[in-house]
Amino acid sequence: MNFRPGSRDEPEINLIPFIDILLVVLIFMVLTTTYSKYTELQVSLPVADALQPKQRPTEVLVSVAQDGRYAVNGAVLDGVSAQLLSAALRQAAPDAASHERTVVVINADASATHQAVIAVMDAARQTGLTQITFSTQSPAGGGSVSPSRRP
């Protein structure tokens, strides 16, 4: 019988099972977490609460329909080309000196494509009309149309 005091081994903490459990929990969380998809984003445009301007400059009204057709100052254009749109804007604001005071008001349908609105902005830039604003409905749904200023 050995009654001598011997050296005792210090207990040590084994971290490998702890790391294994954490990795299993991490994998479980990654597999069960749902992520929001950007393609499911529902955007309802345009609605804005804008104040009416006190002094109205010369305006050229450009309407964009849902199917991409254009109308400049109420006259419906026969095509949807950028050249036709630029020519109609030039005819609506023929005086080059008044281009700084002329504002292009875009009345775009909420379902109109982004490209159709960008085409109007590009045609206005080519014509020399640099002040552009968008016409929106008030959030209350009163049906009134008010331009929201954007110089």
CA dist 123 and 89 (Å) reads: 8
Domains of the chain plus CATH, in order, are: 59-148 (3.30.420.270)
Work out the end-to-end distance of the chain between its first and last CA atoms, rounded to an integer number of angstroms: 99
Other C-beta atoms lying within 10 Å of the C-beta of residue 54: 5
pLDDT 10s digits, 125-144: 888 888 888 887 777 655 44
Of 151, 82, 76, 139, give the one whose Cα is nearest residue 115: 82
Other C-beta atoms lying within 10 Å of the C-beta of residue 120: 24
**Global pTM value:** 0.54
Task: Output the pLDDT for position 85.
Answer: 85
